[in-house]
Structure 1
Amino acid sequence: MADNFVLLSGCSGGGKSTLLAELCARGHNVVEEPGRRIVSEELAGDRKALPWADPAAFARRAIEMALADRQSARALSGWVFFDRGLIDAASALDALTGDTVLETLCAAHRYHRRVFMAPPWPEIYEADSERQHGFKTGLAEYRRLAMVIPALGYEVVTLPKTSVSARADFVLASLSSGIRSAVRS
C-alpha cells in the first residue's frame, strides 16, 4: 500500500480539481485527473477513446494512465494527492462491461486508507469541453463510487461544501489526525 497516496474521488464537478490546485499551491505533490488528460489528448488526436465516443476504451486508457501515474509518484515523498485514479477508472470499466479487473487491480494498488469524496454540488457543477455529460450522469457515477470505495476497504470521508481553502485545511487535518491516531495505538 502507498500510504502517502491520497485519493480524491466523488461527484463530477464537485470541486476536486480546484482542491487539487489548492493542495499544489500549498506545496503538496499532486496528480491531475487521468480523464481530463485523456480527453485533451483525444481531442487533439484520433478521438477514438473519448468517453462519449467509446466509454470502455476511455476507461481502459484511464486505468493505464492511473497505473503509470502511481509508478511515477513512487519517487515522491510526502502526501501525493490524486484527482481520481485507479478505483474510478476500474469501477467505470466494470460498470460498463462487467470486466472484473476492479478488485484485482485495486487490491494490488492501494491508496491511503482514507478516500476523500466530493459530494454532489449542483450549485458549482459546470459542463465544459472535457466534461460534456450532465449533472445526472455525475450523480450516478458518485452513487456507484460511494458503494464501491467502502466495499474495497476504504474509509470514505465526505468533503464539506465550503471554500477551497477550508476544504484543503479539512483534508490535511483529517490526514494528520489519522497519523496521530495510528502512532498512539
Structure 2
Amino acid sequence: MTERFILLTGCSGGGKSTLLNTLAAQGVATVPEPGRRIISEEIAFGGTALPWVDMGAFARRAVEVARADLEAARHREGAVFFDRGLIDAAVALEYCGGAKVRDTFGATMPYARRVFVLPPWPALFVNDAERQHSFDAAVQEYQRIEQSLDDLGYQRYVLPKVTVEERAEIILRECGL
C-alpha cells in the first residue's frame, strides 16, 4: 500500500474530475481519470474500446492505463491524488466477465487505506460525449465500487454534498496537507 497515493472514487457524474481540478489548482499532484482519457483517444482515432461499444476492451485498457498511472506516480514526490484508478477499472473488468477485482492487482493495496468517495448526486450528473450511461447505471456502478472497497479493506470517507471548494478543504485537511 502506498499511503501517499490517494484515490477519489464514487459515482459517475459525482464531481470527481471537478474536485481533482480544484485540488490541482491548489498545487497538489493529480492524475486524471483513465476512462475519460481512453474514451477521448478512442473517439479521436475511431477506436472501439468504448464502454458503450466493447465494455471488455474498455475495461482491460482502463486496467492497463491505471497500472501505468501508478507506476508513473512512484517517481513523484509527496501526495498524489487519483481520479478513479485501478480499483474502478478492476470493478468494470469484473462486471463485464473479466478477472475478479482482487485478482487484477493481487494482495497489494495500491492506494492509501482511506479512500474519498463521491456519492450519487443527481444535480451534478450530466451526459456528454464521454458519459453516455444513465444515472441509474451510474448508481449501480457506485454500489459495485463501494462493495469492492469494503471487500478489499479500504476505509470509505464519503464526502458530503457541499461545494467543490469545501470538498477540497475536507480532503486536504484529512490528508494533513
Distance in 2 separating the partners of 1:58 and 1:24: 26
Aligned residues: 176
Q: Is the 8 A contact 2:56 2:98 kept in 1?
A: no
Q: Is the 8 A contact 1:86 1:106 kept in 2?
A: no
Q: Is the 8 A contact 2:2 2:112 kept in 1?
A: yes
Change (3 A) 1:140 1:10: same
4+ aligned runs moved over 6 Å, structure 1: none
Distance in 2 separating the partners of 1:98 and 1:51: 14
Please report the TM-score for the alignment, with normalisation by the length of structure 1. 0.92
Q: Is the 8 A contact 1:87 1:106 kept in 2?
A: no
Letter matched to residue 57 of structure 1: A
Please report the TM-score for the alignment, with normalisation by the length of structure 2. 0.96
Change (3 A) 1:88 1:28: same
Deviations 1:49-88 (A, max 9, x none): 0110000100000000000000111111111000000000
Pairwise mapping of residues 22-101 of structure 1 onto structure 2 (< 5 A)? Answer: 22-100=22-100
Q: Which runs of 5+ in 2 are unaligned?
A: none
Deviations 1:64-115 (A, max 9, x none): 0000000111111111000000000011111110523x21305335200111
Q: Which has a greater percent of helix?
A: 1
Deviations 1:136-182 (A, max 9, x none): 110000011111111101000001111111000111112229xxxxx
Name the Cα RMSD after superposition.
1.3
Residue 59 of structure 2 aligns to a residue whose secondary structure is: helix
Letter matched to residue 143 of structure 2: R
Letter matched to residue 102 of structure 2: E
Distance in 2 separating the partners of 1:122 and 1:57: 28
- What is the aligned partner in structure 2 of residue 12 from structure 1? 12
Distance in 1 separating the partners of 2:147 and 2:139: 13
Amino-acid identity (%) = 51
